[in-house]
Amino acid sequence: MRHKNNTRILPSEITPREHYYDRRRFMQLAAGASIASLLPGPLWAADKLEASPNKAYQLAEEKTPYKDVTGYNNFYEFGTGKGDPAQYAHTLKTRPWTVTVEGEVHKPKTFAIEELLKLAAMEERVYRLRCVEAWSMVIPWIGYPLSELVKQVEPTGNAKFVEFITLDDPMQMPGQRSTVLEWPYNEGLRMDEAMHPLTLLTFGLYGEMLPNQNGAPIRIVVPWKYGFKSAKSIVKIRFTEHQPVSAWMKAGPSEYGFYSNVNPEVDHARWSQAKERRIGDFFKRPTLPFNGYADQVAGLYSGMDLQKYF
Amino acid sequence: MGIKQLDEKTLGWVKAIIFLLALIPFIRLVIGGITDGLGANPIEKITRSTGYWTLTLIMVTLAITPLRKLTGWHWLTRTRRMLGLFAFFYVCLHFLTYLVLDQFFDWGSIIKDIIKRPYITVGFPSFLLLIPLAVTSNNAMIKKLGGKRWRWLHRLVYAVAVGGVVHYWWLVKKDLTNPVIFAAVLAILLGFRLVYWWRGKQVASSR
CATH ID of B8-206, from 2.40.128, 1.25.10, 1.20.120, 1.10.3470: 1.20.120
Instruction: Classify residue A2: in a domain, yes or no.
Output: no
**A264 residue type, one letter:** P
pLDDT score of A160 more than 50: yes
Domain range for A148? 11-301
Of A17-26, A112-121, B159-168, the poorest mean pLDDT is in A17-26
CB contact residues (below 8 A), chain B span 8-27, against chain A: none
Q: How many CB atoms lie within 10 A of CB B104?
A: 12
Q: How many CB atoms lie within 10 A of CB A208?
A: 20
**A218 residue type, one letter:** I
Instruction: Classify residue A309: in a domain, yes or no.
Output: no
pLDDT score of A213 more than 70: yes
Residue B97 φ then ψ, to 5° = -60, -45
Mean pLDDT of A153-162: 98
Domain boundaries, chain B: 8-206
Question: What residues contact residue A139 under an 8 Å CB cut-off, 6+ apart?
Answer: A63, A64, A69, A126, A127, A129, A205, A206
Instruction: Classify residue A6: in a domain, yes or no.
Output: no
Q: How many Cβ pairs closer than 8 A exist between chain A and B?
A: 53
Helix pair B118-135, B156-171: axis angle to 10 deg: 150
Indicate which CATH number applies to the domain containing A213.
Answer: 3.90.420.10
Task: Choose from A254, A284, A287 for mutation: most chain B CBs within 10 A.
Answer: A284
CA-based nearest distance A280→chain B, Å: 7
CB contact residues (below 8 A), chain B span 171-200, against chain A: 171, 173-175, 177
Chain A residues whose beta carbon lies within 8 Å of the beta carbon of residue B104: 283-284
Residue A98 φ then ψ, to 5° = -130, 155
Q: What is the ipTM of this complex?
A: 0.84
CB contact residues (below 8 A), chain B span 44-103, against chain A: 44, 101-102
Chain B residues whose beta carbon lies within 8 Å of the beta carbon of residue A251: 174
Considering only CA atoms, which of A194, A169, A37 is closest in space to residue A91?
A169
Angle at A217 between CA A288 and CA A41, to 5 degrees: 120
Q: Indicate the number of domains in chain A.
A: 1
CB contact under 8 A, B104 and A133: no
Instruction: Classify residue A1: in a domain, yes or no.
Output: no
Query: Who wins on pLDDT, A42 or A103?
Result: A103
User: What confidence tens digit (pLDDT) does each residue in A255-300 have?
Assistant: 999 999 999 999 998 899 999 999 999 889 999 999 999 999 999 9
Mean pLDDT across chain A: 90
pLDDT score of B2 more than 80: no
Instruction: Classify residue A37: in a domain, yes or no.
Output: yes
